[in-house]
């Protein structure tokens, strides 16, 4: 297995666990932020150890990565009219934006499912009689 695939799978699983474990949305979002920071750092570390700064492959999301790269490239082109910006690796930035977005969606989906399940269980569970 590819090391990038393993890193992505571990962090996707962690995002789901964090979403299920978080009691508040703010806690889930803070945990997602740090999860995304560590994920990006590990991917960059793995790329540095491999000696290549080429974008890791996400075969399922190849079209999405191309579209995100086009949007980012057009945004960088618009920014060049106002400030001097020189950015060479739009594909790598698109990879990080996409994977961070996927981690956010996983955390939010798991948090929503947890909240719905807790609400459903509280509706179905018998209430204690108050004295």
The CA distance from 110 to 56, in Å, is 26
Q: Output the pLDDT for position 14.
A: 92
Residue 69 has pLDDT above 80, yes or no: yes
Q: Kindly state the helix (H) or strand (E) to which residue 102 belongs, with its residue range.
A: helix 90-124
**Helix, strand, coil abundance in the chain, percent, nearest 5:** 75, 0, 25
Candidates 95, 35, 16; CA nearest to 61 is 95
Q: Output the pLDDT for position 52.
A: 77
Reported pTM: 0.81
pLDDT category of residue 111 using cuts at 50, 70 and 90: very high
pLDDT category of residue 108 using cuts at 50, 70 and 90: very high
Collapse the DSSP code of 86 into the 3-class scheme (helix H, G, I; strand E, B; otherwise coil) and give the result. Answer: coil
Phi and psi torsions of 130, nearest 5° = -90, 145
Is the model more confident about 50 or about 99? 99
Collapse the DSSP code of 87 into the 3-class scheme (helix H, G, I; strand E, B; otherwise coil) and give the result. Answer: coil
Residue 13 has pLDDT above 70, yes or no: yes
Q: Going by C-beta distance under 8 Å and a sequence separation of 6 or more, which residues neighbour residue 28?
A: 18, 19, 22, 107, 108, 111
CB 57 within 8 A of CB 4: yes
Write down the mean pLDDT value for the chain.
86
């Amino acid at each position: 297995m590819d090391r990038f695939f393993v890193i992505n799978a571990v962090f996707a699983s962690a995002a789901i666990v964090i979403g299920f474990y978080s009691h508040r949305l703010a806690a889930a979002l803070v945990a997602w932020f740090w999860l995304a920071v560590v994920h990006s750092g590990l991917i960059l570390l793995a790329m540095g150890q491999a000696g290549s700064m080429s974008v890791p492959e996400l075969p399922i999301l190849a079209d999405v990565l191309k579209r995100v790269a086009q949007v980012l490239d057009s945004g960088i082109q618009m920014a060049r009219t106002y400030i001097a910006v020189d950015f060479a690796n739009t594909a790598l930035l698109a990879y990080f934006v996409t994977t961070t977005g996927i981690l956010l969606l996983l955390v939010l989906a798991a948090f929503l499912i947890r909240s719905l399940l807790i609400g459903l269980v509280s509706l179905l569970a018998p209430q204690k009689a108050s004295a």
